[in-house]
Amino acid sequence: MAILPILEFPDPRLRTKAALVDAAEVTTAAFQELIDNMFHTMYDAPGIGLAASQVDVHKRFMVIDVSEEKDTPRVFINPEITAHDGGQVYQEGCLSVPGIFADVTRANQITVRYLDRQGVAQELTTDGVLAVCIQHEMDHLDGKLFIDYLSPLKREMVRKKLAKARKHVA
């Protein structure tokens, strides 16, 4: 398995809207290997979710594992939220915006339709961290970042902070 490079804000490729995954592609060896590599990358980062867009693959799927033991991997292909309820503020971070955390209002409960790793249609109603993570990763598939929920001034402060951090690493 390979660790894939994760795009970081303000990389313009993060703004690309992902295309639907063709159902015939889901069970191919190449797609399954990509899923494995995305899980490996996410666990290594470490994170609880990773959208394909974050690794410069602009297809509508994501991998998620919100379990403490990291033993409940989930794949959501062509996800679509069909219902949502309530709203609550959650503090979010992102592998594409390292070291930055901010409060974002998300639905408390969602119902999502998707294809699983085997290409089988599924529907899931969930809440809590999993619901937040699904919404966060789906934003990536639409070219949106959690910092887009911040004011323009705060977003610019984040951009400058990340640029400064990159200079110290280089």
Give the 3-state secondary structure of 10-22: CCHHHHCCCECCC
Confirm whether 137 is a catalytic residue.
yes
d(CA 20, CA 119): 13
Q: Cis omega before residue 46 (within 30°)?
A: yes
* Selected catalytic residue, list 69, 92, 137, 156: 137
Residue 102 burial (CB count, 10 A):
18
Amino acid at 39: F
d(CA 10, CA 156): 10
- Residues recognised as catalytic: 137
